[in-house]
Amino acid sequence: MERTLSIIKPDGVSRGLIGEVIKRFEKEGIKIAAMKMLHLTKKEAEGFYAVHKEKPFFDSLTDFMSSGPIVVMVLEGENVIQRNRDLMGATNYKEAKPGTIRADFATDIEKNVVHGSDSPENAQKEIAYFFSELEIH
Ligand code: UDP
């Protein structure tokens, strides 16, 4: 059994896609083990995306991620890190496979609706950034 962190980004929340995204997880048999809505400060967004701090898109990305509420979730299931990445689709929605969340809903390489951890190590760090063990069911 594996855990991963999923985020419905500010564009997904403001466009009314919370239910749509969660429906796709539940339809795949992925368990939602924790969930909350947050509005990150710029500093909190910078902390979350610290691995990207040298990238040219860092400032814009952290402005976007702190621009409105997000939904953060811990997903649980077998091989859930990869299964979530498969449901999300490629970072660039233009390269995402049809039927993925990003292909269906993203409007921009930055505003791509969802985040998902990309490795067990990052999943553990990202889950701990938002949740205590007591909040994970
Ligand atoms: N991003 C961006 N421009 C880029 C690459 C990434 O704005 O050229 C944003 C996009 O929102 C992406 C996030 O930065 O989801 C993190 O990038 P990463 O490469 O980790 O992609 P992900 O794991 O989210 O697919």
**Helical segments of 10-118, H only:** 10-14, 18-27, 42-48, 58-65, 80-88, 101-105
The response to whether residue 91 sits with its C-beta less than 6 Å from ligand 1 reads yes
Q: What is the mean pLDDT of the chain?
A: 98
What CATH number does the domain located at 2-41+69-135 have?
A: 3.30.70.141
ipTM above 0.95, yes or no: yes
pLDDT in tens, 61-94: 999 999 999 999 999 999 999 999 999 999 999 9
**Ligand 1 neighbourhood includes 57 CB (under 6 angstroms):** yes
Query: Cβ(107) to ligand 1 under 6 A?
Result: no
The per-residue pLDDT for range 10-22, each reduced to its tens digit, is 999 999 999 999 9
Domain coordinates of the chain in residue numbers? 2-41+69-135
Please give the number of the atom of ligand 1 that sits closest to the Cα of 118.
23
115 is an active site residue: yes
pTM for the model stands at: 0.98
Phi first, then psi, for residue 14 (nearest 5°) are -70, -25
